[in-house]
Amino acid sequence: MTLPSHEVADLGLAGAGVRRVAWAERSMPVLRSVRERFAQQRPLDGLRVAACLHVTAETANLLRVLRAGGAQVWLAASNPLSTQDDTAAALVTEYGVAVHAWAGMDTAAYDRNLVTVLEARPHLLLDDGCDLVNTAHADRPELLEGVLGGCEQTTTGVIRLRRMSAEGELRLPMVAVNDTRTKRMFDNRYGTGQSTVDGILRATNTLLAGRTVVVAGFGYCGRGLAERFRGMGSNVVVTEVDPVKALDAVMQGYTVATMDTAAAAGDVFVTATGNRDVIRREHLAVMRDGAILANSGHFDLEIDLNALDSLSVAVDRGVREQADEYVFADGRRLLLLSEGRLVNLGAAEGHPAAVMDMSFAVQALTTEWLAREHGALAPGVVDVPEETDNEVARLELASLGVGIDVLTPGQEDYLNSWRP
Ligand SMILES: NC(=O)c1ccc[n+]([C@@H]2O[C@H](COP(=O)([O-])OP(=O)(O)OC[C@H]3O[C@@H](n4cnc5c(N)ncnc54)[C@H](O)[C@@H]3O)[C@@H](O)[C@H]2O)c1
């Protein structure tokens, strides 16, 4: 068999990758049912798809669905640290995906791989964080010729797309997969919550019970984080800029404080805001000896890494795997996990497959919808059809053996009428 184009760490890891992908697939019943239908109907026949996604076993299962549907697929990573090298190898040798990604690539390689997958002249783009769309628009606009549209997987990517659209720069219809209920309510919340705790524990094996954990941002991800840390017995302090979300955190029983106050109190800090400079020099300067710093927001901007560098007299890189220790002049040490990048993907394996089953089922069904409907869509940020969201939830409930009520005709009439 001729292998697709690839640049991965080691094709010899493919066997381990296949096992990893198969293990994830066991918890992805919805995606499996979509794959079986795609294999029969081939809704993506003849289409080229370029994806910029975390190269994990769950992503591999999404790409298997697209392949079953008839698409040719190219894959770059959506973060320099998040690639599972065995999964990348399996994608190339077993599943016919052209992968250009390996763990620990530098930023130049990261950028180059984005261009490589765009040079395949894709019809559809699957993005996670908007780097692929951004690269095409900013650096290689000629490669947008022939692109019909795409999907965006995460909050930060949707925010960037809306900004491009508002400035009249976005030349494609981009579907905000992130904004579906089945994505945000489960993936961002339970997925990020659990896998972030997992990443912090793998990197540090620290005790969470009785410790003060500061969670920056109380959005979908932050809420999940706060719940998981509370479940581990931590005292959770929430920081926010949105008064309603801050109030929600208060009503849920969390301590809410400014970062100025929380900085000196925290044992562990986790950012999940999608914003920059949330933990700044003045905060780092007052932190306790041994404090742990982690980020679960999309980019490595939430903790001011330049400030951390400049406050330090020494850095012990790799004091543990995925952990660097910064030593201040007065002897205090702060531990930075996964270089301030997504800790749940850098130090753990990302979200559990059972959660990605829903997000990626939405991706697969939206890709099919885009392939069919792109002609009717104008450039801009487009919502996933509500029916897709409901369909994925229905399939998930069915796989769990859970039944729910349906509206009676009388109830439908009642809800659709204003008359007493
Ligand atoms: N780690 C992962 O696997 C993963 C998964 C999903 C989303 N994400 C990323 O996580 C980030 C958050 O996503 P979300 O869906 O929770 O977004 P969201 O919009 O629901 O929540 C973000 C929250 O942060 C708050 N915030 C903004 N600036 C702040 C500041 N300076 N201090 C404190 N709070 C601040 C906002 O008010 C908001 O409530 C995004 O970058 C998203 O792309 C990561």
pTM: 0.94
Once rounded to an integer, what is the mean pLDDT over residues 234-251?
A: 98
Task: Tell me, yes or no, whether 98 and 229 share the same domain.
Answer: no
**Residue pLDDT, tens place only, 67-113:** 999 999 999 999 998 999 999 999 999 999 999 999 999 999 999 99
Does residue 357 share a domain with residue 339? no
Domain boundary among 301, 326, 346: 346
Average pLDDT value for residue range 376-399: 95
| CA of residue 275 to ligand 1 center, whole Å | 7
Residue 417 lies in a domain: no
Distance of CA 327 to the CA centre of its chain: 31
**Inside any domain, residue 412:** no
Give the residue numbers of the binding site.
Answer: 56, 128, 154-156, 183, 187-188, 217-222, 240, 275, 296-298, 344
Whether 1 has a pLDDT exceeding 90, the answer reads no
Residue 69 sits in the same domain as residue 147: yes
| Residue 208 scores a pLDDT above 90 | yes
Unique residue bearing structure tokens 């783009």:
125
Residue 21, pLDDT score: 98
Interval between CA 203 and ligand 1 midpoint (Å): 22
Rounded to an integer, the average pLDDT of 383-391 is 95
Say yes or no to pLDDT of 318 above 90: yes
338 and 356 co-located in one domain? no
Residues 237 and 331 in one domain: yes
Q: In the predicted model, what is the mean pLDDT of residues 242-271?
A: 98
Q: Please state the atom number of ligand 1 nearest to the C-alpha of residue 157.
A: 43
pLDDT at 419: 83
Instruction: Write out residues with Cβ below 6 Å of ligand 1.
Output: 154-156, 188, 192, 216-222, 239-242, 245, 272-275, 278, 296-298, 342, 344
In a domain, 415, yes or no: no
The answer to whether residues 334 and 373 belong to one domain is no
The secondary structure of 285-335 as a DSSP string is: TTPPTT-EEEE-SSSTTSB-HHHHHHHEEEEEEEEETTEEEEEETTS-EEE
CB 153 within 8 A of CB 359: yes
Domain boundary among the residues 346, 375, 407 is at: 346
Residues 198 and 303 both lie in one domain: yes
334 contacts 326 by C-beta, under 8 angstroms? yes
- Cα–Cα distances (Å) from 337 to 140, 155, 320, 340, 348, in that order, read 34, 22, 9, 6, 11
Q: Looking at residue 223, which CATH number applies to its domain?
A: 3.40.50.720
140 and 90 in a common domain:
yes
Q: CATH number, domain at 59? A: 3.40.50.1480
Q: 55 with 128, same domain?
A: yes
Which of 181, 252, 275, 363 to mutate to test ligand 1, by most ligand atoms within 8 A of the CB atom? 275
The answer to whether residues 53 and 179 belong to one domain is yes
pLDDT digits over 210-229, tens only?
A: 999 999 999 999 999 999 99
Tell me the residue range of the domain where 195 lies: 191-346
In a domain, 332, yes or no: yes
Q: Please report, in range form, the residues annotated as the binding site for NAD(+).
A: 154-156, 188, 217-222, 240, 275, 296-298, 344
Closest ligand 1 atom to residue 299 Cα is 41
Residue 2 lies in a domain: no
Give the count of domains, the chain.
Answer: 2
User: pLDDT at residue 297 above 90?
Assistant: yes
Task: Examine the fold and report which residue of 307, 330, 346 is the final residue of a domain before the chain moves on.
Answer: 346
Judge whether residue 53 has pLDDT over 90: yes
Residues 54, 95 within the same domain: yes
**420 pLDDT tier (thresholds 50, 70, 90):** confident
Q: Are 165 and 126 in the same domain?
A: yes
Is 313 buried (19+), middle (13-18) or exposed (0-12) by CB count in 10 A? exposed
Query: Confidence class of residue 344 from pLDDT cuts 50, 70 and 90?
Result: very high
Q: Give the whole-angstrom CA distance, residue 336 versus residue 239.
A: 19
Query: Letter for the amino acid at 220?
Result: Y
Residue 23 lies in a domain: yes
Average pLDDT of the chain? 97
**pLDDT at residue number 397:** 95
Binding-site positions for substrate read 56, 128, 183, 187
Beta-bridge partner residues of 342: 295
pLDDT digits (tens, 9 = 90+) for 124-161: 999 999 999 999 999 999 999 999 999 999 999 999 99
Distance from C-alpha of 328 to C-alpha of 325, rounded to nearest angstrom:
10
In a domain, 358, yes or no: yes
Ligand 1 centroid distance, CA of 16 (Å): 34
Mean pLDDT of 319-339: 97
